[in-house]
A and B are shown apart, each in its own frame.
Chain A
Amino acid sequence: MPKIILENVTKKFDKFIAVDNLSMVIDDRDFVILLGPSGCGKTTTLRMIAGLETPTEGRITIGDQVVFDSEKGINVSPGKRDIGFLFQNYALWPHMTVYQNIAFGLENLKWKKDQIRERVNEMLALLKIEQFEKRYPSELSGGQQQRVAIARTLAPSPKVLFMDEPLSNLDAKLRLEMRTELKRLHANTDSTFVYVTHDQLEAMTLATKVCLLDTGVLQQYDPPLVVYNKPNNLFVADFVGNPTMNFIKGKAEIKGNTAKINMLGATFTFSADGDIAPVLPAADENADNSGGADVVVGIRPEFIRVEQGKLTGKVYTTLPSGMETTVKLELGDEIITSVVFGSVDYPVNSDVSFEIVGNGIVLFDAASRSKIAMGSLTIE
């Protein structure tokens, strides 16, 4: 039912543009994650939808209701948007007990006392914090506070739930636990979740759709695996995935849906899944255009297979993490990262052969930084 529509939303703080002409649609029951580096405008976007921040321009609709329209002068107060908001630092009221914190929103809805009691009990049980009912926030651990904050937010059963980096104040183990619970919560509550984080792993694991922002501009808005596998541009490709994608500079001669690419001291043939988009001329006219257009080839570490193939690199470092090992190889000016399943170790500076496999290789235009094609590489 509640579908959130943002149309040309812009937010300026004095001269600084925090969000630039953002349009997107959040479908009912989506778990949308606003992702991006700090200062990219993701929190501002979230706060604008919630009504805590007033956009400079644009229109926001939640369900059938236009909650903000700069032209018509509509601005519905946050309390009337039927939303919940979970703050990064929980924002629990220190002078109220756990019970009072959770009950506060229900009081505002003019619920009866026994109804409130019942609902709070339900929430306490849902989040397994029954025993803390009479405590003050300062007497709880971080994880417990987090649960209280969630309970408080969920108590009025908001149709949309906004979360601003809710897990960033927790330690690594607790964060993992809470991730699981949040995902289950989403499944159980029938609500739409909009979630802000800078942690791409969190985005990958939780979201139904990821909205990646950079300096106020929308970069990609897709399901997480699409974002991972088919990044729109270099920024997205770089931001998502750990270890990060290998970016190898090369020269490409493009013919139809194949290209000859010179890189790593060898020549490769790139066979695209579809047409290769046209490459922008290099910004610098004096640039060396001989040998084709400047491109960047993006290869996920899992597409680099070691101890096979014709290419040889020198071991730069080996980073075993138990389940997998990251191997970094030096070849010419480039450092190439590979992920190997299981635990392996190579002496530093030893030579190791490798090859590029798979069909998830991304070709970027070096000048525009946009993706121009997806496909596979074969060495000649």
Chain B
Amino acid sequence: MTNNKKFDTRLLGHRLRSYFSKPANIITIVFLVILALTVILPLCTLLLGSFQLNTIQEATSAGGKKGDFTLRHWARLLTSTEYDYAINSLWLPLGKSILMALLACFIAVVLGGVVAWFITRADIPGKKFISAVFVFPYIMPSWSIAIFWENFFKNTEMTAGPRNAGLLQMLTGICVPQSWIYGLVPCAICLGLHYAPFAYILIGGILRNMDANLEEAATVLGASRFKILCRVTLPIVAPALISTILLVFSSSISSYTVPFFLNKDGRFIALSVHLKNLFGDGRTQGQGYVMAILLMAISIGILTLNNWFTGKRKSFTTVTGKSGQVSLVKFGKWRIPIAILLLIIVGFIAIVPLFTFAMESVLRTNADGTRTFTMDYWFSKEVPTGSTKSDTLGILVSGTMWKALGRSLGLSVLVALIAGTSGLLIGYAVARKRGSRIATFVSDVAFLPYLIPAMSFGAVYLSLSFTEGFTWLRGSFILLILVGGVKFIPFASRTGSSAMLQLSGEIEEAAIMLNVPWWKRMARVLFPIQKASFISGYLLPFISCMRELSLFVLLTVSHETLLTTLLGEYSRTGLTESANAINLLIIIVVLVIQFAVNKLTGASIDKGVGG
């Protein structure tokens, strides 16, 4: 008996030792623990928060004490009929948000898909330029498109918002109706434009990799161009299309900044904006948790659907054959007009925004409504009076701005390093342990932060920083790095997995045969081969972090901490000219870094978008 037991433990020991002798296993276990602490625990907090009295105000109002179990948050938000509360607070905004997200999907997929088709299948000139510039809106923060939208269309006829002439009115005198500037449709358009490059990258990738023979086979059999598009091309890119639609949908529905910014006339409240209002109020925090869970449930549902679709039809993406020899559709005399049209569209969504930011930052609105040129918002050392919070009016001479820029860059670099490296390691584990349940689980959990609305993610980490044992995190830079690192892992782990899966195991095995240690295999063999993809896995978290606001707003002690919080402060205090200047600065910094990295390493965000 005892002998047996000894034997068993020894066997177990052997098994464990052999299990942990493989780096992929160690990584899996380590990330399982890390992700359980940084992702699953916060999720549980969210769930718990929806079932308990969270704040002093909730406790007072419910007549209980903090921490008591309650169903009132769920009941009130989902079913309360008092003055139609549930309808007005949840169901109506939910319906409208879904409508907005659907519209955004439609715009993104149609625009991105059409551009992708023209770039990969038509003989138009200027493709390289169009392709390079078309991804700008995705690199730019999504709200910058919303700001651009307002900058461009605002006019003196509006009854809300800034009410001065925007670019369109200045150039043509046309005043568009206010419903074209604020509300559901403009929100959907801006989100659609923001995600169009994303659709372009996904669909273009499939079109580029799609075996051209599939289309040629139909050509030879006498099918018309249109018929080929409908019967062959579209069905084959359908999984990418569906995947794009679902991802754009779930991103749009939880997008906060665009609907927040384009609601100046108050006609349309998105669910995400509503979520923030609920969270921001101690009396309704529990309902905020409920809504965050609902938003997540929608996203998870959609992604499960996505996996089901792509999983079922994996065989669709065939990357074989002589795909290089795509015969381009000849447009003859139409090729120049089409190219010009594409250039106009791309210019409008990618270049005009930068122009309007620059313009808004150099035009002062005078008391009588006229506007004059000034460089004050960039260079003036004057310290403004009134409610402005900056030390100097000109942002480029403001020490506060430079410090914030430095911290934002530092934070983004560190977050990118953490998220990128984690993604790479998770990717490695997934690729080496293909099909293993535990590795798949780790990879799935690593994707979850993508689905948690940024605001609620911030709120969970805020409460962590008040928990015994973690109070040293409170207000610290480490907390920002931690929350950013975890929130942006999904991008990196997707990129890492797809890059690792493309590498055959033999490549690493060849190195194992030569007795090369694991870290050296990673650094000298695996990383260099997929360098561009891996660096993209670092680039995406970096870009996302640079432009993130809602995630950090609850966690920063000062408004001066980050460039985005400073930007928020400028907007809030009515210094829109300086806000535009900062916005332009953020975009330029992001673009410059993206291009520098691209030139140096060949990495680009379009390589990184795996989903």
Contact = CB atoms under 8 A, between A and B. Distances in A.
Contact of B221 (A47, A54, A156): A156
B53 to A, nearest CB: 53
A95 to B, nearest CB: 4
A169 to B, nearest CB: 9
Interface in A63-121: 77-80, 83-85, 87-89, 91, 93-95, 104-105, 108-109
A109 B222 contact: yes
Nearest to A82: B222
Interface residues of B, number: 27
B214 A79 contact: no
Interface string B410-440: 0000000000000000000000000000000
A87 B221 contact: no
Contacts of A91: 211, 213-214, 216-217, 321
B232 interface: yes
B235 interface: yes
Which of A52, A80, A105 has the most chain B CB atoms closer than 10 A to its own CB?
A52
Nearest to A138: B315
A142 B313 CA distance: 18
Contact of B327 (A54, A83, A84): A54
Contact of A89 (B223, B238, B318): B318
Interface string A318-358: 00000000000000000000000000000000000000000
A109 B223 CA distance: 9
A53 interface: yes
A43 interface: yes
20 contacts: A43-B322, A43-B325, A78-B216, A79-B220, A79-B221, A84-B220, A87-B213, A87-B217, A89-B213, A91-B213, A91-B217, A91-B321, A93-B214, A93-B218, A93-B235, A95-B235, A104-B218, A104-B221, A108-B221, A137-B315
| Top 4 closest pairs, chain A to chain B, by CB | A79-B222, A105-B221, A91-B213, A138-B315
Contacts of A77: 219
Interface in A12-59: 43, 47, 50-54
B217 A85 contact: yes
A108 B223 contact: yes
Interface of A: 43, 47, 50-54, 77-80, 83-85, 87-89, 91, 93-95, 104-105, 108-109, 136-138, 152, 156, 164
B115 interface: no
Nearest to B221: A105
Contact of B220 (A50, A89, A94, A137): A50
Given A79-B224, A109-B222, 12 more contacts: A51-B220, A52-B219, A53-B327, A79-B220, A80-B222, A84-B220, A88-B213, A93-B214, A94-B315, A105-B222, A136-B315, A152-B217
Contacts of A105: 221-223
Contacts of B236: 93-95
B481 to A, nearest CB: 45
A300 to B, nearest CB: 34
A93 B232 contact: yes
Contacts of B216: 52, 78, 85, 87, 91
B223 A104 contact: yes
B10 interface: no
Contacts of A43: 322, 325
B318 A94 contact: yes
Given A94-B315, A94-B318, A83 B325 contact: no
B222 A94 contact: no
Q: Is the interface of B mostly helix, strand, loop or mixed?
A: helix
B61 interface: no
Contacts of B213: 87-89, 91
Given A52-B327, A105-B221, A88 B231 contact: no
A53 B221 contact: no
Contacts of A88: 213, 321-322
A89 B217 CA distance: 11
A83 B220 contact: yes
A104 B231 contact: yes
A363 to B, nearest CB: 39
Interface string B435-472: 00000000000000000000000000000000000000
A13 B214 CA distance: 22
Interface string B235-252: 110100000000000000
Nearest to B316: A94
A47 B223 CA distance: 17
A104 B222 CA distance: 9
B320 interface: yes
B238 A52 contact: no
A95 B221 contact: no
B21 to A, nearest CB: 38
A236 to B, nearest CB: 25
B371 interface: no
Given A53-B327, A94-B236, A108-B227, A89 B219 contact: no
A40 B327 CA distance: 19
Contacts of A87: 213, 216-217, 321
B335 to A, nearest CB: 15
Contacts of A51: 219-220
Contacts of B235: 93, 95
A196 B411 CA distance: 58
A122 to B, nearest CB: 17
B546 to A, nearest CB: 40
Contacts of A84: 220
A308 B227 CA distance: 69
A137 B214 CA distance: 13
A43 B218 CA distance: 18
Given A95-B238, A108-B222, A53 B325 contact: yes
A156 to B, nearest CB: 7
A60 to B, nearest CB: 15
A341 B219 CA distance: 50
Interface in B276-294: none
Nearest to A89: B321
A131 B315 CA distance: 21
A47 B220 CA distance: 11
A50 B221 CA distance: 11
A137 B238 CA distance: 17
A85 B216 CA distance: 9
Contacts of B219: 51-52, 77-79
Contacts of A137: 315
Given A84-B220, A104-B218, A89 B211 contact: yes
B470 to A, nearest CB: 51
Given A47-B325, A87-B213, A104-B231, A95 B316 contact: yes
A50 B327 CA distance: 12
Nearest to B231: A104
B319 to A, nearest CB: 10
A265 B300 CA distance: 82
A109 B220 CA distance: 12
Nearest to B235: A95
Interface string B296-318: 00000000000000000101101
Interface string B134-166: 000000000000000000000000000000000
A139 to B, nearest CB: 9
B443 to A, nearest CB: 24
Interface in B170-228: 211, 213-214, 216-224, 227
A46 to B, nearest CB: 11
A85 B220 contact: yes
B513 to A, nearest CB: 28
A355 B143 CA distance: 87
A105 B321 CA distance: 21
Nearest to B330: A54
A43 B214 CA distance: 16
Contacts of B316: 94-95
Interface string B318-339: 1011100101000000000000
A89 B236 CA distance: 16
Interface in B384-434: none
A248 to B, nearest CB: 39
